């Protein structure tokens, strides 16, 4: 029986080898004939799909030391939003940004730590407190391309922004501190209507992502840039911002920003804000105007001046009925492309005692500070 099975396997193997030999000979002859025949035109192979954009990782570290010339016993610089600490070395912000440009899908994540982030995100619970921005981006092929973001991102309002490196001065303006929110949770869409006009629309969960009511906040931004040197921005932000049990009326913020690069060294800017809300039995308003001048001495150094006034006639934003003003002079020096050094003098004043001094809290109507900021980018 064993010998019979072996014989059967041998016969099957021989038959298989014979079939392989016949197939191989046929293929060889076909290949030989093909090589001898004239070449025929063939369609080009389809091009490989382009690789998606690379994921980039960038960031910065921002530190400062500030000295209050009025020697406040509280060691606090009043009515500032980020540079609040007197006579201490402070890590203002350390950020890592992870980003992939949309083509047509992308994302941005900004992870932030430090004093400025703690203040800006003070109302944010849990792990989102260290996420300044995190949003997905989709470019919809409509016309020139409709860009849609969804997630968490900084507000579209105000000439200034949270990172000091992106502003003319080291300290932030009164308008940025007291008239607009820092960030939002929601969705936004941007569309380039023409070479000079861009329109943006926003749908937010209120101010700073704090869910105090069941309503939504809407926003609009229109940018008109007739030349590469001149631009005008019109902003609106509106929606219920107080608990439903208080009011469902809209908190509105209207804003105009103008920027003009007069020369390759001189840049001028203007920021006007008007806001209103409706707490019980009253209408609260706030308004302000800030002007900016920046002049580049050369490729590595510049001066910037900011002057502004902020009026809070009901004390709704600052907690006191007052008119605030400030003037700031900033010198910037870049010894290397990735290092920004800024020295700054700032003078604030109010028509009521709003600043601290040697006599204690809210014992002065003015405040003078000197600051040194160092920012390293990567």
pLDDT in tens, the chain (378 residues): 433 433 443 344 334 334 433 333 443 334 334 444 444 444 556 666 677 789 999 999 999 999 999 999 999 999 999 999 999 999 999 999 999 999 999 999 999 999 999 999 998 878 899 999 999 999 999 999 999 999 999 999 999 999 999 999 999 999 999 999 999 999 999 999 999 999 999 999 989 987 788 889 999 999 999 999 999 999 999 999 899 888 889 999 999 999 999 999 999 999 999 999 999 989 999 999 999 999 999 999 999 999 999 999 999 999 999 999 999 999 999 999 999 999 999 999 999 999 999 999 999 999 999 999 999 999
Domain ranges of the chain: 143-371
100 in Cβ contact with 53 (< 8 Å): yes
Paired residues of 57 in beta bridges: 98
Q: How far apart are CA 97 and CA 268, in angstroms?
A: 29
Whole-model pTM: value is 0.84
Q: How far apart are CA 163 and CA 170, in angstroms?
A: 9
Neighbour-count burial for 203-224, b at 16+ CB within 10 Å, e otherwise: ebbbbbbeebbebebebebebe
Convert 91-107 into a string of H (helix), E (strand) and C (coil).
EEEEEEEEEECCCCEEE
DSSP 10-47: HHHHHHHHHHHHHHHHHHHHHHHHHHHSPP---PPPPP
Residue spans of alpha helices (H) in the chain: 2-36, 115-120, 174-178
Q: Name residue, tokens 């079939």.
A: 19
The CA distances from residue 289 to 158, 281, 286, 293, 319, in Å, are: 11, 27, 11, 14, 19
Structurally, what CATH architecture does the domain formed by 143-371 represent?
Beta Barrel (2.40)
The CA distances from residue 207 to 156, 211, 315, 355, in Å, are: 12, 8, 19, 27
112 in Cβ contact with 93 (< 8 Å): yes
Q: How far apart are CA 48 and CA 46, in angstroms?
A: 6
Other Cβ atoms closer than 10 A to 165: 16
325 in Cβ contact with 352 (< 8 Å): no
């Amino acid at each position: 029986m064993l010998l019979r099975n072996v014989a059967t396997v041998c016969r099957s193997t021989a038959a298989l080898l014979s079939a392989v030999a016949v197939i191989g000979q046929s293929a060889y002859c076909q290949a030989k004939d093909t090589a001898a025949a004239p070449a025929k035109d063939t369609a080009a192979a389809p091009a490989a799909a382009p690789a998606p954009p690379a994921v980039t990782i960038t960031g910065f570290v921002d530190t400062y030391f500030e000295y209050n010339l009025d020697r406040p016993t509280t060691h606090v610089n009043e009515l500032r939003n980020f540079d609040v600490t007197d006579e201490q070395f402070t890590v203002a912000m350390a950020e890592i940004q992870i980003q992939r440009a949309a083509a047509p899908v992308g994302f941005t994540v900004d992870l932030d730590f430090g004093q400025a982030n703690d203040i800006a995100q003070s109302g944010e619970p849990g792990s989102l407190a260290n996420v300044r921005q995190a949003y997905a981006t989709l470019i919809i092929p409509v016309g020139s391309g409709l860009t849609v973001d969804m997630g968490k991102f900084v507000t579209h309002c105000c000439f200034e922004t949270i990172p000091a490196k992106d502003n003319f001065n080291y300290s932030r303006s009164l308008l940025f501190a007291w008239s607009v929110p820092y960030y939002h949770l929601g969705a936004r869409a941007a569309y380039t209507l023409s070479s000079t006009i861009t329109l943006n629309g926003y749908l937010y969960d209120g101010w700073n992502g704090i869910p105090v009511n069941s309503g939504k906040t809407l926003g609009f931004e229109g940018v008109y840039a007739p030349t590469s040197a001149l631009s005008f921005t019109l902003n609106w932000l509106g929606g219920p911002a107080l608990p439903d049990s208080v009011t469902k009326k809209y908190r509105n913020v209207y804003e105009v920003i103008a920027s003009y690069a007069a020369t390759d060294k001189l840049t001028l800017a203007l920021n006007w804000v008007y806001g209103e809300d409706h707490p019980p039995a009253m209408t609260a308003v706030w308004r302000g105007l800030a002007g900016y001048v920046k002049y580049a001495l050369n490729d590595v150094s510049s001066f910037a001046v900011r002057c502004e006034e902020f009026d809070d006639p009901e004390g709704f934003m600052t907690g006191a009925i007052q008119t605030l003003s400030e003037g700031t002079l900033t010198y910037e020096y870049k010894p290397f492309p990735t290092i920004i050094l800024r020295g700054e003098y700032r003078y604030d004043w109010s028509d009521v005692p709003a600043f601290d001094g040697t006599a204690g809290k809210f014992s002065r109507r003015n405040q003078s500070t000197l600051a040194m900021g160092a920012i390293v980018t990567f």
